[in-house]
Amino acid sequence: MRTINHYALNFKNIDVDFELKFGLIHLLPTFRGIADEDPHKYSKEFHVVCSTMKPQGVIEEQIKLRVFPFSLADKAKHWLYYLPSGSILTWNDLKKQFLEKFFLVSQTRTIHKEISRICQNIEKTLYEYWERFD
């Protein structure tokens, strides 16, 4: 099994050499790691683009591991640079670490927006309104 180094990562599951098409790389969504971004939406868009890349004899996990660094910028790319070498062995490892890192930022912002818009409906009693928070 061959090890491919991307930044500080060792992707040990990429055991097939394949060429990435320049045009397909430019179709990848970009994730920057800023508060307004939705990492789940990015993940879905990333999956859609990767599912169109079908080099013969290459599984989708290998494609995702290889192209993921090309889809990051700014804070997200900085995060990728500083992951410990060898900490990512599978696409699921990478996706899990990515969502653990960046979901909290977007989730916190969404929850803050929801809380700031809370109001009691006229037809609800104060008790019924308060019950929503238990």
pLDDT in tens, 71-129: 999 999 999 988 888 788 889 999 999 988 887 655 667 777 777 777 767 777 877 77
Residue 61 is part of which domain span?
A: 4-104
Residue identified by tokens 């290998």 is 62
Asked whether the predicted pLDDT for residue 25 surpasses 70, the reply is yes
Q: pTM, whole model, 2 decimals?
A: 0.68
- Residue 23 inside a domain? The answer is yes
- pLDDT recorded at residue 1: 39
- Residue 132 inside a domain? The answer is no
In tens, the pLDDT along 29-65 reads 999 999 788 898 999 999 999 988 877 788 888 889 8
Contact of 6 with 88, CB cutoff 8 Å: no
Structure tokens at 17: 């050499």
- Residue 111 inside a domain? The answer is no
Q: Is residue 17 very low, low, confident or very high in pLDDT (cuts 50, 70, 90)?
A: low
CA-CA distance, 39 to 122, in Å (whole number)? 36
The dihedrals phi and psi of 4, each to the nearest 5 degrees, come to: -115, 125
Contact of 89 with 65, CB cutoff 8 Å: no
